[in-house]
Amino acid sequence: MSSPACPHVKSRCPQYPESTIKRFTVPEDKVDWDEKWPQYSPVSHTAPAVLNKPIWADPDIGSFSPNFNAVDGLVDRSSFEGQYKVENGKPLNPRGRTGLTGRGLLGRWGPNHAADPIVTRWKVDASGAKIHHSASKKPILQFVSIKRRDCGEWAIPGGMVDPGEQVSLTLQREFSEEALNSLSLKQSEKEDIHKRIQKLFGSVYKGYVDDPRNTDNAWMETVAVNFHDELPLQAGDDAGQVQWVDVDSSFSLYASHSHFLELVARERKAHCHFTV
């Protein structure tokens, strides 16, 4: 599915998540790196959890030399956005300035790859007939939404791609763990769910994610796919709560997730209204 460019707004949120760090304010007309701005003085921040060198994080630049814009060992440092610039040994966010350098909460320098499974079903009445929205007259889609434990926002269940892992496996793993709580299921139940989520996923979006964790040197990218089915829901892993939600919701969603839902709704010719 072709998709318009994802915005670059939450990546410039005034206060960096899970910190008291304030970003250097970047107005819309100064986002592009090609726009000369000698007064630009971004704040430097890498979270202590990242500096403690967990297995999922890179070392600091200088102590190692990553191969940017390429597959670097098991880590894919190429971007869906194309070639990104590297300045003073550090990659530059392909969407522009964010007001903050370093890695923030992100482990990798450059692109941090994730996978987001968008699981949908039609909203139906007691007889099984599709329910149409009173204003648009289009059928209403519902999607699986989780409440993130880290920030309390509602989101599409998803997660980071492990080094060397295929995105298709990440999608299956993350949805099973977050929305279906497969870690606590019996083996027979796991096998049944695994067969169902192995069905063909329809591609929705592949590219940059407007994520509040993004910095000038580290950013989120994702492959979002749509899986149309009905599955038993039980929160697990990073999810606080999980539920089916109408694609007509008044609450905002985490990062670029509203954008992804709009793309799914358009493709399926369903009603859509989201607060971005």
160 domain-assigned: yes
For the stretch 157-184, pLDDT in tens is 766 766 665 655 655 665 566 545 555 6
> 10 Å Cβ neighbour count for 192?
11
207 domain-assigned: yes
95 domain-assigned: no
What are the backbone dihedrals phi and psi of residue 140, each rounded to the nearest 5 degrees, phi first? -95, 125
87 domain-assigned: no
DSSP class of 109: S
For the stretch 218-259, pLDDT in tens is 999 988 888 776 555 554 445 457 788 887 755 566 656 677
What integer best gives the mean pLDDT of the chain?
Answer: 81
161 domain-assigned: yes
pLDDT category at 125 given cuts 50, 70, 90 is confident
- pLDDT score of 118: 82
- pLDDT score of 235: 47
**Which helix (H) or strand (E) element contains residue 251?**
none
Do residues 43 and 19 touch, judged by C-beta distance below 8 A? no
Region 193-214: what's the mean pLDDT? 74
Region 40-64: what's the mean pLDDT? 94
- Report the C-alpha gap between 27 and 125 in whole angstroms: 47
> Domain limits at 221?
113-268
Number of structural domains (the chain) is 1
Q: Which of 55-64, 95-104, 170-179, 262-271 has the lowest mean pLDDT?
A: 170-179
For the stretch 68-79, pLDDT in tens is 999 999 899 999
pLDDT category at 2 given cuts 50, 70, 90 is very low
228 domain-assigned: yes
What letter represents residue 225's amino acid?
A: V
Q: 163-172 burial, b for 16+ CB within 10 Å, e for fewer? A: eeeebeebbb
Q: 74-112 burial, b for 16+ CB within 10 Å, e for fewer? A: ebbbbbebeebeeeeebbbbbbbbbbbbbbbbbbbbbbb
Domain with residue 179: its CATH number is 3.90.79.10
37 domain-assigned: no
Q: Which of 62-66, 94-98, 183-187 has the lowest mean pLDDT?
A: 183-187
Kindly state the tokens that stand for 118: 């968008």
- pLDDT score of 61: 93
Confidence check: pLDDT of 102 > 70: yes
Confidence check: pLDDT of 85 > 90: yes
Region 52-79: what's the mean pLDDT? 92
Residue 214 or 235, more confident: 214
Full-model pTM: 0.72
107 domain-assigned: no
Kindly state the tokens that stand for 236: 């697990």
